[in-house]
Amino acid sequence: MAIHIDGKTKLCALLGNPVEHTLSPAIHNFLADQLGIPLVYVAFGVERAELEDAVRGGLALGILGFNVTVPFKQSVMSCLTGLEDGARAIGAVNTLVRSDQGFCGYNTDWIGLKRLLFHADISLQGRTVVLLGAGGEAWAAAYVCGCEKAEKLYILNRTREKAVVLAERMHTQFPSMECCALEMNEWTKMEESGLIALQATSVGLWPHTDCAPIEDVKFYQRLDAAVDMIYKPEETLFMRLAADAGAKTANGLNMLLYQAVAAFELWVGRKVEPSVVSRAKDMLKQEIGFQRNE
Ligand code: NAP
């Protein structure tokens, strides 16, 4: 891909620290190239004390939009002129969109997960969901459960207090969704089967691929579907245990892809066609080191 840059080329960028291993430039530059949009995307590693200057500088330089990653997803909120509802409910921003007054904050992680579920043909409506984890991505996942009208949400986390905070916030946000916080090893207290599990801990992430947050096969026998937000390895131990117990499984690659597509669509004000998304997914698999065809 030869990038043509001239005086009309727009810039989008990632703010984070570290940023060396991000896949965002690969995705966004690919989308811009495929759609013939004069846009270049780069990654900026920023010091915490300079975040506000970076955002203000972006505004002055005419930067069209930013992605924001660890560790700035919360702290960037004080640099913004507005917040979209999802970002406010989740308490984290991963996308900044330029407006006349300044940058507006969005969260497209939840949109990425919602689109992943749609493409995997997994509906949360009226279902009991078990969410593993209570970190940043778990907040996005819990928000999706509320938006998609899950009936009941179990939040299991190593640190129970964090699960309690998330459960309370989600129950306030979505009063009709029953929310229940447990420690990870208290999964036996759940009475239901036919569960949909969303795995949002970092357990099992490459290169530590031989572990899962719960390893008892009896847990997996309760599942109808299991989604791991991890995308490397392609099949985590969590997914393998779920598949062995007969559950439908999906990894987090589509979440990564669709959160980027949603951000790109916000910046350029147009939809990315499914054929382009599909080619972007092939490119992404190669970048991550997967086989081209699953
Ligand atoms: P985070 O905010 O740091 O949260 C980490 C979560 O993992 C917490 O719930 C933490 O529990 C739990 N955890 C960590 N080590 C554990 C252990 N040894 N045993 C049990 N639980 C453990 O991270 P995050 O940003 O939410 O990311 C979570 C996962 O999502 C990561 O695997 C990341 O790769 C993946 N992710 C995917 C995408 C995507 O687009 N697909 C995007 C971002 C992240 P405590 O609260 O007890 O510490």
Q: Which of 72, 137, 182, 185 to mutate to test the pocket of ligand 1 (most atoms within 8 A of CB)?
A: 137
Cα 198 from chain centre: 12
DSSP state of 221: T
Record the pTM. Answer: 0.95
pLDDT > 70 fraction of the chain, expressed in percent and rounded: 98
Ligand 1: nearest atom to the Cα of 252: 41
Residue nearest to atom 40 of ligand 1 (CA): 256
pLDDT at 292: 43
pLDDT at 289: 86
Structure tokens at 216: 């008892």
pLDDT at 185: 97
Tell me the mean pLDDT in the region 89-99. 97
Q: CA nearest 8: which of 39, 43, 41, 34? A: 39
Query: DSSP letters of 116-139?
Result: HHHHTT---TT-EEEEE--SHHHH
Q: What span, in angstroms and rounded, lies between the C-alpha atoms of 100 and 243? A: 49
pLDDT at 1: 63
Q: Which residue has the tokens 């990654």?
A: 43
Residue nearest to atom 16 of ligand 1 (CA): 203
| SS3 state of residue 8 | coil
Q: Is 232 a residue of the active site? A: no
pLDDT at 231: 96
Q: What span, in angstroms and rounded, lies between the C-alpha atoms of 165 and 157? A: 11
Contact by Cβ (8 Å): 28, 81: no
Q: Which of 202, 219, 230, 259 to mutate to test the pocket of ligand 1 (most atoms within 8 A of CB)?
A: 202
Cα dihedral value 50, 51, 55, 57, nearest 10: 10
